[in-house]
Structure 1
């Protein structure tokens, strides 16, 4: 039986709850589109902060147009960095995280112009370039130590994990070994325990005590929350100490074992990962 023709001017009935027009198009695209820096971080191409720097510098384009902060991309969009195609939505290789024993003065990455090594020296391969690399991923150091210093370095090829750790590191308890020339006086030790920095900021110092020494050098053990290697050096120098070396020996639950020789590395364990990122927000993998 044929359906009766619809009268002229009558509107077509549509199923309830079904969007149409531009609203429907936006609803279909919205679940797929994500912020550009988040996509790059998840793919292990950069941390979110680094991706934001790239965006501000105009180095990223989306479908031929210069990307701006807040730009969102979908799997079908073409993303380029300095003109080179970036597979931002490709299925990423398994992200990894490593605990490294960095030698004092050892570079994290080879500089663009390394220059010529001194006579009798062989050029050193940078720490991050010795780690086992997966296609398309780069390593990010979490709160790296300054170049003259060394000790424990925590690095990962997971941009999301790096972001979580960079936020968490400000509340983590860290331990450092600091080498100074000569013995510190009681007032100097008291000043260090006070935690004051040149900027007026205050570090939460829990312990600072002598740890032995050799010849004119003395080592001091420092336990502090949320401090970088640079801040630790400044904390001692502010009290007149002549600091020659700062070594990080612990970062939160992660310790630098004596069995891990200088220049060597090991993978971060699942137990350490869970301790660093408690709760369901901890990214999987590694």
Structure 2
């Protein structure tokens, strides 16, 4: 008996509609394998095949197509599948990504896995950090293997209020605090700083809690250093509505639920919790 063609997108008697074919770049980005631009480079280099044929720019694939990268089968993720995102509690100086080994194979393996290496493999192979903190700092990090979701989150965080704990040498005077509250950066741009308050300290070190909209860790460090402060540590403790809870220890992570993701993607997210 002859099989029906798989090309029909609406099989007779089926109540569900098959997903429309998508561009390879979109498929690879959603699978967390590469950005769209990287995928285009791979296509040009002849590294990707579709059903045994070398892929070309503009080709579209469906779930029934066999896609391979360098001969290895690529497992496609359905467009309707829920994208995963995680918050991680990173220690200052801790690596998010695995160290690059030299080509000669020399050097010892790192004693601990990088943060993204501890995330579930089922969530993706290539994780993207949204508004990452500088390596010397730490705190809350937001990561996902879904390229489309990462791009949406990156746009959204520019409008979200975040909170940081900043450790400096000595106590800041009123003039320095006012300079920080002005939000002026080296570029001349201005951050919307909501507050900067003393949060205690030990010995010669003092902690300050700062809240600002659309601020990165690099921006926060720069705000303080422009006022002559000697900054030793910057920790992000809240990103929009997502706070770094005490139960999440350093080096640990947890998956964001659907409601948390929706709140992050909303440019009208709730203001920071005070106190």
Q: Which runs of 5+ in 2 are unaligned?
A: 1-18, 268-275
Contact 1:39–1:88 (CA under 8 A) maintained in structure 2: no
* CA RMSD across the alignment: 2.8
Q: Could you say what secondary structure the match of 1:123 adopts?
A: coil
Alignment match, 1:282? none
Alignment of 1:130-149 (within 5 A): 130-134=118-122, 137-149=125-137
Q: Please say which structure displays the higher CA radius of gyration.
A: 1
Give the alignment's TM-score, normalised by structure 2. Answer: 0.76
* TM-superposed deviation, 1:138: 3.0
2:198 corresponds to 1:213: no
- Is the alpha carbon distance of 1:65 and 1:146 closer, same or farther for their aligned partners in structure 2, counting shifts above 3 Å? same
- Is the alpha carbon distance of 1:80 and 1:231 closer, same or farther for their aligned partners in structure 2, counting shifts above 3 Å? farther
Give the alignment's TM-score, normalised by structure 1. Answer: 0.73
2:245 corresponds to 1:254: no
Alignment match, 1:73? 60
- Is the alpha carbon distance of 1:211 and 1:110 closer, same or farther for their aligned partners in structure 2, counting shifts above 3 Å? same
1:8-53 per-residue CA deviation (whole Å, 9 max, x = no partner) reads xxxxxxxxxxxxxxxxxxxxxxx9453433221222323xxx3314
Contact 2:156–2:266 (CA under 8 A) maintained in structure 1: no
Alignment match, 2:166? 178
* TM-superposed deviation, 1:226: 0.6
Alignment match, 2:36? 51
Contact 1:179–1:244 (CA under 8 A) maintained in structure 2: yes
2:116 corresponds to 1:128: yes
Alignment match, 2:3? none
Q: Which runs of 5+ in 1 are unaligned?
A: 1-30, 280-286
Alignment match, 2:74? 87
Tell me the matched-pair count: 238
2:220 corresponds to 1:225: no
